Amino acid sequence: MPELPEVETIARGVDRRVRGERIVQAWFGRLPQTFKTPQSQQAKGLAGRTILAVHRTGKHIVFELGTEASAGAPEAQWIVHLGMTGRLLFATPDAPVAPHTHARLDLGSGNELRFVDPRRFGRLEFRNLRGSFRNRGDAAFEAPGAEPLTIGAVAFAELFRRRNMPIKAALLNQSLLAGVGNIYADESLFQAGIRPRRRTNRLTAAELERLRLALHQVLTQAIRLGGSSVSDYVDADGERGFFQIEHCVYQRTGEPCRRCETLIRRIELAGRGTHYCPTCQR
Ligand SMILES: [Zn+2]
């Protein structure tokens, strides 16, 4: 499942390829599960609009859409959640259409943007921010949790101070922080030297600040790595699969810690496999 760095990398790659493009028309498949907004409404809303920018919010990819008349101000949004197996592919019209293609935007340049999702946990949504005189228009998309790459020290500490739960579970709670998944939760707790079972309200201010910085470091490092391999999953002729950071603990059960050679342990926490070094993390 794509995590925050992958989604960020994909959003940047898509932005680079489609920013400024006009959507000539949009086609949607018939399987309803994928569509948070009915297909006909999405097709109607997208046609004729210009893609002003594409960016990540939480684990969602948000297309800001305007018209020539809107002079750069977003009038609508197309929101893509990749789910487990969703991909956005930038393709020329003659590129073979992959099985499980559920949506296609035909762009003014003649190229296409395709949404492919074998397992169909991905979601596509359209929001009209302007509305009409009859309805007020939709609110702009916001992820429920705080943004881990930009949150400050005080706000970060405030998220956890009054809660009493294992810190690992809190990191995975999407209503607290947006987009942090299992890999980066384990890796940042290792970098910060904090055991995953520690209770949030027992962590010191210094530990929480170490964790905030570790999370930032681990995520930006992964984004940097992803930047060089973006074409592997945005371009239709590229190879499948996300880049991997060199994990310190994640899925290294029984292997020696890279820092102290203690064997990495695995426990179940919040229903997820959780990996840590019993020596480096306290
Ligand atoms: Zn260690």
| pLDDT tens track for 191-216 | 999 999 999 999 999 999 999 999 99
The per-residue pLDDT for 6 is 87
Residues 6+ apart with CB under 8 A from 239: 232, 233
Compute, in angstroms, the gap from residue 247 CA to the centroid of ligand 1. 13
Q: Tell me, in angstroms, the distance from the centre of ligand 1 to residue 142's CA.
A: 38
The predicted-structure confidence for 139-161, as pLDDT tens digits, reads as follows 999 988 999 999 999 999 999 99
Average pLDDT, the chain: 91
pLDDT at 123 over 90: yes
- Does pLDDT of 134 surpass 60? yes
Please tell me what DSSP assigns to residue 38. Answer: -
Helices 4-18 & 205-228 angle (0-180, nearest 10)? 40
What pLDDT is recorded for position 237?
A: 64
Residue 241 predicted with pLDDT over 60: no
Q: For residue 278, is pLDDT > 60?
A: yes
Number of residues written out for the chain? 282
| Residue 225, both tokens | 């790595």
pLDDT at residue 228 above 90? no
pLDDT tens readout for residues 60-101:
999 999 987 777 789 999 999 999 889 999 999 999 999 999
| pTM for the whole structure | 0.88
What single-letter amino acid sits at 214?
A
Phi and psi for 272 in degrees, rounded to 5?
Answer: -120, 145
Catalytic annotation present for 36: no
**Per-residue pLDDT band at 272 (split at 50, 70, 90):** very high
pLDDT at 222: 87
Ligand 1 centroid from CA 152, angstroms: 28
How deeply is 119 buried, as exposed, middle or buried, from its count of CB atoms within 10 A (0-12, 13-18, 19+)? Answer: exposed
For residue 196, the CA-to-ligand 1 centroid distance in Å is 14
Percent above pLDDT 90 for the chain: 75
| pLDDT confidence of residue 72 | 79
Higher pLDDT among residues 78 and 136, named by residue: 78
Residue 229 pLDDT exceeds 90: no
Q: Is 207 one of the catalytic residues?
A: no
Amino acid at 191: Q
Mean pLDDT of 229-240: 63
In angstroms, what is the span from residue 218 Cα to ligand 1's centroid? 17
Look at residue 172 in the predicted model and tell me its pLDDT: 95
Alpha carbon distance 35, 50 (integer Å): 21
CA 7 – CA 58 distance, rounded (Å): 9
**Which of 12, 49, 56, 59 is an active site residue?**
59
Q: Determine the pLDDT at residue 230.
A: 58
